[in-house]
Every structure is written in C-alpha cells, then in structure tokens.
Amino acid sequence: METWPLYRVLGPEATDSDRVPDAIKLKIYEDMVLLRSFDEKTITLQRQGRVGTFPPSIGQEAAEIASAHALSKQDWIAPSYRDHGALYVHGVPFENVILFAMGKASSISGDVRALPTSIPIATHLPHAVGLAWAARQRGESVVAMAYFGDGGTSEGDFHEALNFAGVLKAPVIFFCQNNGWAISVPVRLQTASETLAQKALAYGISGVRVDGNDALAVYQAVQAARERALAGAGPTLIEAVTYRLGPHTTADDPTRYRPREELEAWQSQDPLLRLGQYLAERGLLSEADQEAMQARARDWINQAIEAAEATPPVDPTAMFRYLYSDPPLRLRQQMAQLQAALQEEVP
Amino acid sequence: MAEINMVTAINQTLADLLAQDPRVVLLGEDIGLNGGVFRVTEGLYERFGRERVMDTPLAESGIIGAAIGMAVGGLRPIAEIQFMGFLYPGLDQLISHAGRIRHRSLAALTVPMVVRIPYGGGIRAPEQHADSAEAYLVHTPGLKVVVPSTPYDAKGLLYAALAQDSPVAFLEPIRLYRLGRMEVPEERYQVPIGPLRVAREGRDLSVFAWGAMVPLALRCAERLAEEGVSVEVIDLRTLSPLDIEGIGASVRKTGRAVVVHEAPQTGGVGAEVVATINETAFWWLKAPVARVTGFDLPYPPYAWEEFYLPDERRLLKAVRETLRD
Ligand SMILES: Cc1ncc(C[n+]2csc(CCOP(=O)(O)OP(=O)(O)O)c2C)c(N)n1
Ligand SMILES: [Mg+2]
C-alpha cells in the first residue's frame, strides 16, 4: 500500500526551510499579506454594493501565493475563480480582479501566460495538458499548472486530464487546493479516497500531499514537480491541504453547514501566522517590517480600487467586440439594432 | 390559500412528493444541509434524510447519469443542476441516454426523471451563471422541457413532470424565484405538459414568451393597452413539445406576432415558434413575425446585462413595428 504523507516544512523544527532563499520567503509573505488585505477589503466593497459576488481566498494564501512564486513567468497558469492571488503573482494586477467583481470583465485575466479564470469547475484541466504539450512541441522549457479545488476532483474532466497527461507525459502540474469544502459539501462526501493525492496513482503520474498552509512546503513541492516535468518525468498531482476560512463567496453563508469547532481549529493554522512566526523567529521580519508591509498593501489596494472605479460606465456595444475577428452579418445587425434602440427616446 | 413565491411553491411540492411517494429521491450539489444555493430544497434534508435528499459529488454527468439509472431502476429521481451554465458536463447524459433509452429499448425501459435547472439572467451574477440554454434541450428528442413563470404553474408543472414516464427538464427562471407571490392551492393539482397559457387575452398581436420574459411581455401589453392596442401574451410554459395548435390559434386570431426570449437569437426556440406560426397561421399573418432576443454572444458580464437582455424598450419597438403595416 502506498501511503500519502503530508509534506511539511514549517513547524517546531522547520526542516528543509533553508532550501528557500530568504528573499523569496519574504516576498511570499508580503504577497500573502497583500492577498489577505485585498480579500478583506473586497468583501467590504461587496457589502457596500460597490462590487458583486466575490470568492475570497482567506486561509489559502500560502497555497495561492507560494505555488505561483515557484513558477517562471514563462510557465502557463490555468486558474479557476478563486485564484486571483496566484494570478497576481504571475503579473495580473488586482485592478482586473475588481473589474471582474464589478461585472465589467468576464473573467480575471491579464497580459500574462494565463488562461482567463474558469468558472465551470475542472473544465480547464484538459487545457493545461494541451498548453503543456504545445510548449513541449515548440521546444519551450516551461510547464503548465492548473488550479482547482477538492470538488474539482469529482468532475470527469479532472480524470480525463490526468489520464491524458499521464499518457502524453506532458509537463503539467495539477495543483489541487483541498480547502475542505466545495460550497457546503465536505470532502468526505466528495470522494471515498482517503486523500486526493492518491488519485495520481491510477493515472501513473506522481502524486504529492503537502501542507497547504505551509508556504515553504508548497513552494518546494511545486518547485520539485516543475523540475520533474521539465526533466521529462511527467505530470504531478499536488494536493495542498488547506482550509477556506471564509465563505465560498460573498453570497454564501457557511454557518448553515460548517461546524464552528472545525473553523476554529483551522484558524490557529492560519498560513499568515505560521510563516510570519517563522520569519520573526529567524530574525527576518520585525514588527516594523510587518507594519510597513501592511501599509504598502493598503496603498496598493486603494490604488487598485480607485483605478477600477475610475473606469467609465461600459460602452453597451463593447460586448460585441471580441467574439470573432470577422463578426457575421447577423451579429453586426444585432449590434446596429441595439445602437438604434438606445438612441431612440424611451418609449 | 396562502400567497407564496416560486421558491416556496417548488419547495412545498418537493416536500409533498417526497412524503407521498417513497420512490422519489432528490440529488444534486449543495441541496442537503445548505438547502440548495437558492434554498429551493430548504428543510428537506432535515425532514427526509440523506438517502432521499442527496448531496452528490461535484459532477453533473454523474448526477444526471445516476438519475437515469435510478429512474430505470424504479425510483423517481429529481436531480438539481445548480445553474444552467453548469449543465454542460451533464448534457451528454441527457442527449445520449435520457432522451433515447425508451426508444433504444423499444419502450421496454423508461426514464421517469425530472432535472430541475435554474436558468436565466438579470441577477448580476458572474460569468456562466445566467445562461438560457433551453434550445439544446428542446433539440433533444425524447426530452420534455417545461418553464413555469408563476408559482401556480411551478407547482402544477412539477406534479405533472413527475407523473410522466419521459425525462423532463424543469427550467426555473432565477429572476422570478422570489419576484412575485400569488395564491397557490394547498392541494395537489397538475398543470398539463403541452398546453400554453394565455397570460393576457388580446386581439391585435400575440407576444410569445416564457420564463422571466412573461412579466416583461405583460408590462409591455399594459403599456400598449393605454394606447388602445390589445396585445395577447402567451406563456408557452412547455417548450417541448410545443403547443402547435395553441400557437396557431392565437395568431389566426391576431394576425401578428412577436417572440421574445433571453437566449441568443440564432438557433433559439424563437425560430421554432416562428416556423410553427408559418405552418399553422401563415395565411392569417398581416406582418412578418419579429424576434426580440439575447444577442448571439455569450451572456455578458453583468455591467452589460441591461443591454443584452430583451427589455421594454426593445420589445415595445418590435411590437410597434409589427403593428405598423
Ligand atoms: C461544472 C460546475 N458545476 C457546478 C458549479 C457551481 N459551483 C461553483 S464553485 C462550486 C464548489 C467548488 O468547490 P471546489 O472545487 O472544492 O473549489 P473551491 O470553491 O472550494 O475553491 C460549485 C459546485 C460550477 N461552477 N461548475
Ligand atoms: Mg474546495
């Protein structure tokens, strides 16, 4: 029987922690602080009616941020809706996240090697396989990494993607954040497997289980998977065991289904606390540094909000702009009809 | 009789179906403790337990495929798909199997199941939470498709759907879930699958609508009545099989028609309605039949939805143009 131990770096002994350069540790921490502040702020904006539904990643900052830091900017990311943290690290400004939440953009995307965020669960996993394969065919030394949740492992596309990747030996990483819940459904109702990582076994690919609230462990797990992929050793499924401390989205009320004790137990495992404590103990982070980081985060976020809110009201016909390079006559007619209707007096 | 909204009407009907028939099971994502993301199954898990109200893994093909097996195997499954935009991984099961098993087995096997699917826009939701994909379903032989636009019809159509030996897609207009209350009888009754409903009688023009477009059509009819125009509003409420005779009868009376739907125009159910009008009332027509629809685009981010969705402005314009000659 294979066992699926939880790889952990941060803890009383902090084993292996020196493999990550201090500068990277600090940068990861700073981005985690930023993501936490951003999510908290955006939840407030939603309550004020300034943005629509928003899926925060509170509690998952280590998994989001450290995983993306282990990638090169040339690598591809195939994200889902909760991955604005990873996208931020990859180069997508938070402003774009706010525009999405304001209903002014259909996904979170940017001028980086990332697909637009995918809302239909797990449907983007086969795309990651294709991206990885294309990169390899073109002789690029890059990987593709798909982000998804525990619930995603139940969809057919998850299994098809892992199987494809295994057969093709594609340089792809399946980064699964097991945050305990798929909206109101706990993992034990999602699968009878003891772990999610073990699902790799059936597809003949590598499977790794990592403490997802341990930023250094996540970083190293992704780094190792990336190196394996680039060396031609094939794909890896990483299960990052973490916890969604907040609601599924701002439209969700987790008190309906989630035991309070479970939440409290995970609050003490807050990834920010754990990395912060480690950095402080190592003398890498002073209280003044902490405060400076927080102040910087607030400034960045306020700037992003200002920029997003300063965008003018949408141009009604802009929605016609991107579907085709050669819009068919019917679509051009529809756009003209809308324009005409908008110009007429309200009847 | 109590005044209730559509969510309550469906919830009470589901509760009664579960109570009255041990073969009835509910399955879907988040329908248990959470009561469904729209709270349509609120309280049912607590009352009937996890074997009758099943939170499934996150897998639409699994949900519909398992429901098919349950139906063939003697249960009466009512599956919930969380939003119509997430039906697509399960479409294969509807198209390849639900609609065909009776035919394929020479009627030895039937698939008496209902798939409840919240659909439609106007709710400021993120991408793919506002799709109106009824055309894919209507285009699937063997499947029946119903769309209530009132709490009364929601209850009656749900009873009728469960009494079928065919699979029924039961589309629930999200925007109408809590929009209006009306008196709904406490006892069981069926609204038959097939016949349309004349939501408002009129002489000059027929507007064909379903789901959230029905209240829009009624508002426009009200406006036009002030101008002395008499508009008939037809709530199709069953999209498959279409009420061919009812459609023909209305247009033979009014001589003019407009079809309105949220879904994209091309290949939409509106085209089928227009073809039906041609077949049943062509010689009575005084003007070409117009369509007012969503555009041939993926449903846009919500900052655009007021422009994407048919509204009073566009519907009134089409009606007035159709009345002109
Ligand atoms: C195909 C599909 N089905 C259903 C949904 C509705 N839905 C959105 S998020 C979600 C739960 C996802 O859980 P998980 O995969 O664990 O990711 P998490 O939200 O926890 O990050 C569901 C059911 C969807 N978006 N796509
Ligand atoms: Mg999850």
- Beta carbons of A120 and B58 less than 8 Å apart: no
Question: What is the rounded CA–CA span in Å between residue B61 and residue B64?
Answer: 5
Task: Mark whether B237 and B301 lie in a shared domain.
Answer: yes
pLDDT at B213 over 80: yes
Question: What is the rounded CA–CA span in Å between residue A56 and residue A244?
Answer: 9
Q: Does B76 reside within a domain?
A: yes
Residue type (1 letter), B11: N
Sign of CA dihedral B56, B60, B65, B70: positive
Distance (Å) from the C-alpha of residue A249 to the closest C-alpha of chain B? 11
| Ligand 1 contacts CB of residue A179 (under 6 A) | yes
CATH number of the domain that residue B53 is part of = 3.40.50.970
pLDDT at A60 over 60: yes
Sign of CA dihedral A34, A37, A41, A43: positive
pLDDT tens digit sequence for A321-341: 999 999 999 999 999 999 998
pLDDT band at A2 (very low <50, low <70, confident <90, very high): low
* Catalytically annotated residues of A: 244, 248, 257
> Can you tell me the mean pLDDT for B132-142?
98
CATH number of the domain that residue B236 is part of = 3.40.50.920
Sign of CA dihedral B119, B32, B79, B96: positive
pLDDT tens digit sequence for B248-287: 999 999 999 999 999 999 999 999 999 999 999 999 999 9
Task: Mark whether B73 and B16 lie in a shared domain.
Answer: yes
Task: Mark whether B180 and B41 lie in a shared domain.
Answer: yes
- Beta carbons of A183 and B30 less than 8 Å apart: yes
Task: Mark whether B128 and B172 lie in a shared domain.
Answer: yes
Q: Does B190 reside within a domain?
A: no
Task: Mark whether B135 and B17 lie in a shared domain.
Answer: yes
Structural domain range at position B60: 2-184
**What pLDDT, on a 0 to 100 scale, did the predictor assign at position B269?**
98
Ramachandran sector of residue A239 (left: φ over 0; alpha: ψ -120 to 50; beta: rest): beta
**What pLDDT, on a 0 to 100 scale, did the predictor assign at position B70?**
98
pLDDT band at A3 (very low <50, low <70, confident <90, very high): confident
Q: Does B284 reside within a domain?
A: yes
Number of domains in chain B: 2
Find out whether B276 and B298 touch, Cβ atoms under 8 Å: no
Whole-number CA gyration radius for chain B: 19
**What pLDDT, on a 0 to 100 scale, did the predictor assign at position A17?**
84
- Beta strand A172-178 pairing with A236-241: parallel
pLDDT band at B234 (very low <50, low <70, confident <90, very high): very high
**What pLDDT, on a 0 to 100 scale, did the predictor assign at position B251?**
98
> Can you tell me the mean pLDDT for B200-227?
98
pLDDT band at B171 (very low <50, low <70, confident <90, very high): very high
Predicted TM-score (pTM) of this structure: 0.97
Residues of B with CB below 8 A from A120's CB?
A: 85-86, 88-89, 128
**What pLDDT, on a 0 to 100 scale, did the predictor assign at position A106?**
86
| Ligand 1 contacts CB of residue B62 (under 6 A) | no
pLDDT at B153 over 60: yes
Q: Does B140 reside within a domain?
A: yes
pLDDT tens digit sequence for A105-164: 988 988 999 999 999 999 999 999 999 999 999 999 999 999 999 999 999 999 999 999
Task: Mark whether B6 and B102 lie in a shared domain.
Answer: yes
End-of-domain residue from the set B160, B184, B208? B184
Q: Report how far apart, in Å, the C-alpha atoms of A111 and of each of A15, A88, A305 are.
A: 37, 11, 19
Task: Mark whether B215 and B316 lie in a shared domain.
Answer: yes
Distance (Å) from the C-alpha of residue B58 to the closest C-alpha of chain A? 5
Name the residue with the closest Cα to ligand 1, atom 25. A120
Q: Report how far apart, in Å, the C-alpha atoms of B286 and of each of A283, B85, B274 are.
A: 85, 38, 14
A1 touches chain B (CB under 8 A): no
pLDDT at B71 over 70: yes
- Beta carbons of A347 and B304 less than 8 Å apart: no
- Burial tier of B234 (Cβ tally within 10 Å: 0-12, 13-18, 19+): buried
Name the residue with the closest Cα to ligand 1, atom 13. A182
End-of-domain residue from the set B161, B184, B207? B184
Task: Mark whether B176 and B71 lie in a shared domain.
Answer: yes
Task: Mark whether B215 and B139 lie in a shared domain.
Answer: no
Q: Does B97 reside within a domain?
A: yes
pLDDT at A1 over 60: no
A51 has which bridge partners? none
Task: Mark whether B225 and B294 lie in a shared domain.
Answer: yes
Task: Mark whether B231 and B157 lie in a shared domain.
Answer: no
pLDDT at A286 over 60: yes
Q: Does B44 reside within a domain?
A: yes
Q: Does B189 reside within a domain?
A: no
Task: Mark whether B159 and B308 lie in a shared domain.
Answer: no
pLDDT tens digit sequence for A170-200: 999 999 999 999 999 999 999 999 999 999 9
pLDDT tens digit sequence for B93-123: 999 999 999 999 999 999 999 999 999 999 9
List phi, psi (to 5°) of A75: -70, 155
Instruction: Establish whether this prediction's ipTM goes over 0.90.
Output: yes
The three-state DSSP-derived secondary structure of chain A is: CCCCCEECCCCCCCCCHHHCCHHHHHHHHHHHHHHHHHHHHHHHHHHCCCCCCCCCCCCCHHHHHHHHHCCCCCCEEECECCCHHHHHHHCCCHHHHHHHHCCCCCCCCCCCCECCCECCCCCCHHHHHHHHHHHHHCCCCCCEEEEEECHHHHCHHHHHHHHHHHHHCCCEEEEEEECCEECCEEHHHHCCCCCCCCHHHHCCCEEEEEECCCHHHHHHHHHHHHHHHHCCCCCEEEEEECCCCCCCCCCCCHHHCCCHHHHHHHHCCCHHHHHHHHHHHCCCCCHHHHHHHHHHHHHHHHHHHHHHHCCCCCCHHHHHCCCCCCCCHHHHHHHHHHHHHHHCCCC
pLDDT at B247 over 60: yes
Q: What angle do CA B37, B43, B45 make, to 5 degrees?
A: 90
**What pLDDT, on a 0 to 100 scale, did the predictor assign at position A347?**
57
Q: Does B171 reside within a domain?
A: yes
Residues of A with CB below 8 A from B308's CB?
A: 319
Which of B186, B320, B83 minimizes the C-alpha distance to A344?
B320
- Beta strand A206-211 pairing with A236-241: parallel
CB atoms within 10 A of CB B287: 15
> Can you tell me the mean pLDDT for A313-319?
96
pLDDT band at A15 (very low <50, low <70, confident <90, very high): confident
Average pLDDT of chain A to the nearest whole number: 96
End-of-domain residue from the set B153, B184, B215? B184
Distance B62 CA to ligand 1 centre (A): 15
> Can you tell me the mean pLDDT for B5-13?
98
Mutate which of A84, A121, A187, A245 for ligand 1 pocket (most atoms within 8 A of beta carbon)? A121
pLDDT tens digit sequence for A230-244: 999 999 999 999 999
Instruction: Report A:114-133 residues touching B (Cβ under 8 A).
Output: 119-123
